[in-house]
Structure 1
């Protein structure tokens, strides 16, 4: 089975996010004064193939070791089964 895997990586709440602050100031200068607490992160998408339990374990391992810095970042993994595509 094939799975669409999304890994969301964000700085831990205790880590200063200068990029988020820059975005927050920019949107404020554009007149959006009700925006606060902006945090900027990254999204990594991939397709993994195998049994669901093995795919979940692999995705979590990749998220925690390769795709994020666990000292400074949190990683959240979403896994969705891909529909079978008819061959032409």
Structure 2
């Protein structure tokens, strides 16, 4: 099973990378962008036996900095491959 974990900065935490993206878009002529926030996507391939609690523990202990970041876990169904 494929797992996607989205990690983003909490509201109120300064995001210099997001600001750089916003200014770069403005510099390229893209108007109307009022704010940009950068985050990260982590994809894991795990056994079906891995529980939501285990995934939550992975995020809290390693994948996200709980002081300044939030995370969201998404299970993604992997399509079966057609026989060759």
TM-score range, shorter chain: 0.7 to 0.9
Q: Which ranges of structure 2 fall in alignment gaps of 5 or more residues?
A: none
Point out 4+ residue stretches in structure 1 off by more than 6 angstroms.
Answer: none
Q: State yes or no: 1:36 paired with 2:73.
A: no
Task: State the alpha-carbon separation in 1 of the partners of residues 65 and 21 from structure 2.
Answer: 22
Name the one with the larger strand percent: 1
Residue in 2 that maps onto 1:46:
44
Q: Which ranges of structure 1 fall in alignment gaps of 5 or more residues?
A: none
Under a length normalisation based on structure 2, what TM-score does the superposition of the two structures give? 0.86
> How does 1:1-88 map onto structure 2 within 5 Å?
3-51=1-49, 54-85=50-81
How many residue pairs get aligned? The number is: 84
C-alpha distance 4-43 of structure 1, shift in aligned 2 (>3 A): same
Under a length normalisation based on structure 1, what TM-score does the superposition of the two structures give? 0.83
Contact 1:4 1:80 in 2 (8 A): yes
When the two chains are superposed, the root-mean-square deviation of aligned CA atoms in Å is 1.8
